Amino acid sequence: MTAKDLVSHEIMPARTSDTGEEVLTMMHLAHVRHFPIVNNTQLLGLVSEGDLVMHDLKEPVGDVALSMFKPYCHEKDHIFDVMGQVARFELTLIPVIDDKNQFVGVITIEKLIQFFASSFSFAEFGNVLTIETTEQNYSMGELCRVVESEGVKVLSTFIHKIPDSTQVQITVKTNAKDVYRIKQSLERFGYDVVVSQGIDEYSESLKDRFDSLMSYLNV
């Protein structure tokens, strides 16, 4: 999956002749707080909502000294790299350019979240376990082998490094209904299971978090 697969052509970029007021309207209609500014098909950069309100909104954005920054991704960039850029710059959308460095569209944070939600079994029924161990002792192959030895399938995994430590937390989602046997097996192999959730509990928690995030993005 590359950036080209998620690019949206529906959000048209702002031009240097557009006023700050017009660009703010575009942002609100798209439910984003950043917006691309182009000159013909050349990407000039992103402007933020906070930057615009600091200037005369009646003036064309091309006539105002805006502190635009220029994060972007190429059409062929892997979607993981796109998500990394969005997280690094705390963006609500990211521009996409082609091989000729011409603007082709944007990818919104909402589109990215929907992709990850559908691609990593978030909607699948199952249970989730969070395991804590050290980086030195961590082996995804062994961990999956232990889990699947209980006759279940691993649907997805995520790794989070705990800041300022050598510890990592590994979240594993499986299709099992019973987390107790899996938890016991992992602990026999020296893994510390710090969180375990069953189907109903996990699904409800995920739904609440997703609904909260969608509500936040639509503010």
Neighbours of 76 (CB within 10 A): 12
Least confident residue range of 114-118, 128-132, 153-157: 114-118
> What residues contact residue 57 under an 8 Å CB cut-off, 6+ apart?
19, 20, 21, 24
DSSP string, 112-152: HHHHHHHHTTTTS--EEEEEEEETTT--HHHHHHHHHTTT-
Q: Domains (ranges, CATH) in the chain?
A: 3-116 (3.10.580.10), 121-199 (3.30.70.260)
Q: Is 171 helix (H, G, I), strand (E, B) or coil?
A: strand
From CA 159, how far away is CA 169, in angstroms rounded? 6
Taking a C-beta distance cutoff of 8 angstroms, is the pair 113, 104 a contact? no
pLDDT tens string 173-214: 888 877 888 888 988 888 889 877 654 444 455 555 556 656
